[in-house]
Amino acid sequence: MKRLLFLLLLLSFSILTSPVVVLSKQVIDGKVIYRVVSEQFMKDSRYPLARQLLELAFQKSEHRYGTRYELRDSVARHYPEQNFRQLEARRLPDIMWATTSLEREERARAVYFPIFKGLMGKRVHLVAQSNQALFVNLSKTEAQQLTYCIGTHWPDRDIYYKNGFVNLVEAPTYLTLQRKIRSQSHFCHAFSRGAHEAIIESLRMIPHRFESQVGPEQYVMFEYDAPVFFFVRNRERELAERIRFGLEHALADGSLNRLFYNDRSIAAMMAYGNLENRQVIHLENELSLRAKALYRRQELWFSPKDADRYRNDEHPLPVPPHLKENFQISIAKVHYRDVE
């Protein structure tokens, strides 16, 4: 009897102290509930578009997979690395999105559809105004001598390092990195961002007490293959198939491109990013065979022609006064060249 009581107490203690496991197929009122990674930062430029694309994917797949579902925000807020750990541990969230890597595709099931059309691999840096001149006619060797702020767990961190960009200032969060690039201490020359992130984030920055204002660097773009995928747990094959099916259907009927090219971050990039005139420095990045195969489908990737076809608003956001000089830098005298 005493042994039985001891075992019951031990079991109770184990249950109370073990992490809670939340199955992805939670059903409430007959609906399957999918918890989606919540907004990581209140001003995260990627979140609205990614969430809208996910909702569109579910809507476009209803005729095959049904309507008895609901997308809800995950209660806790986590950064991408923490989200992957949560997926592996069968805890919330059920669905997340992130730049892919070989390691991440082993840890979770990727939905092989590039939701940001490759723009995360087009890196436009945020820089202090005083550092703009460093990037004029910059060679790859010269670029490797500069210091870059970058996320500790971002795949971009390894990409930069493997391509000889070893002077990296790392931090786990976006806000910490933003503070570093805005600081008078000049922790780094440039803060690495996707092209669609850099412009909208610059437009949203509030003038601060430091003299060195921050804006998008105007002359150079790093470019490498870095698609962003939705990720679910490895065992959730049907969920991944549903999301991919919905995205493909939305691409085919034009609704995905209408949503994508009219997003404020994409429209701002098109209006002020000057991507077509930038010097391109190419970096290498190893992808899985399935991810690499997607590059054979031109319709999946960013296209100025598609933007012109689907975009409604040519002037999405005004340029605030503290950034006007950065956005109005003349590029007529700059000699551009692709750098392998």
Q: What's the 3-state SS for the chain?
A: CHHHHHHHHHHHHHHHHCCCCCCCCEEECCEEEEEECCCCCCCCCCHHHHHHHHHHHHHHCHHHHCCCEEEEECCCCCCHHHHHHHHHCCCCCCEEEEECCHHHHHHCEEECCCCCCCHHHEEEEEEEHHHHHHHCCCCHHHHCCCCEEEECCCHHHHHHHHCCCCCEEEECCHHHHHHHHHCCCCCCCEEEEEHHHHHHHHHHCCCCCCCCCEEECCCEEEECCCCEEEEECCCCHHHHHHHHHHHHHHHHHCHHHHHHHCCHHHHHHHHHCCHHHCEEEECCCCCCHHHHHHHHCHHHCCCHHHHHHHCCCCCCCCCCHHHHHHHCCCCCCCCCCCEC
Q: Is residue 76 part of a domain?
A: yes
- Specify the pLDDT at position 186: 65
User: What pTM was computed for the model?
Assistant: 0.83
Same domain membership, residue 126 and residue 69: no
Same domain membership, residue 247 and residue 111: yes
Same domain membership, residue 198 and residue 56: no
Same domain membership, residue 250 and residue 107: yes
Per-residue pLDDT reduced to its tens digit, 265-306: 898 899 889 999 999 999 999 999 999 999 999 999 999 999
Same domain membership, residue 319 and residue 212: yes
Q: Is residue 157 part of a domain?
A: yes
- Specify the pLDDT at position 74: 81
- Specify the pLDDT at position 15: 32
Using pLDDT thresholds of 50, 70 and 90, give the confidence band for residue 334.
very low
Q: Which residue has the higher pLDDT, 116 or 264?
A: 116
Q: Is residue 198 part of a domain?
A: yes
Q: How far apart are CA 182 and CA 128, in angstroms?
A: 7
- Specify the pLDDT at position 271: 87
Using pLDDT thresholds of 50, 70 and 90, give the confidence band for residue 1.
low
Q: Which structural domain, as residue segments, surrounds residue 221?
A: 119-225+315-327
- Specify the pLDDT at position 335: 32
Most confident range (mean pLDDT) of 35-44, 83-92, 155-164 is: 155-164
Q: Which of 131-145, 175-189, 242-256 has the lowest mean pLDDT?
A: 175-189
Q: Which residue has the higher pLDDT, 77 or 183?
A: 183
- Specify the pLDDT at position 25: 67
Same domain membership, residue 100 and residue 160: no
Selection from 69, 64, 63 nearest residue 30 by Cα? 69
Q: Is residue 13 part of a domain?
A: no
Mean pLDDT, the chain, rounded, equals: 82
Q: Which residue has the higher pLDDT, 219 or 317?
A: 219
Exposure b/e, 71-84, CB count within 10 A at least 16 = b: eeebeeebbbebbb
Q: Is residue 333 part of a domain?
A: no
Q: Is residue 275 part of a domain?
A: no
Same domain membership, residue 246 and residue 205: no
Same domain membership, residue 176 and residue 261: no
Same domain membership, residue 127 and residue 34: no
Per-residue pLDDT reduced to its tens digit, 10-68: 444 333 333 333 344 688 888 999 998 876 543 455 678 999 999 999 999 999 999 99
Q: Which residue has the higher pLDDT, 211 or 244?
A: 244
Same domain membership, residue 48 and residue 69: yes
- 184: domain CATH number is 3.40.190.10
Total domain count for the chain?
2
Token look-up 């990039």 returns: 269
Using pLDDT thresholds of 50, 70 and 90, give the confidence band for residue 177.
confident
Q: Is residue 335 part of a domain?
A: no
Selection from 12, 16, 13, 19 nearest residue 90 by Cα? 19
Q: Which residue has the higher pLDDT, 331 or 305?
A: 305
Same domain membership, residue 216 and residue 320: yes
- Specify the pLDDT at position 173: 82
- Specify the pLDDT at position 65: 95
Mean pLDDT for the stretch of residues 251-277: 93
Same domain membership, residue 219 and residue 135: yes
Q: Is residue 32 part of a domain?
A: yes
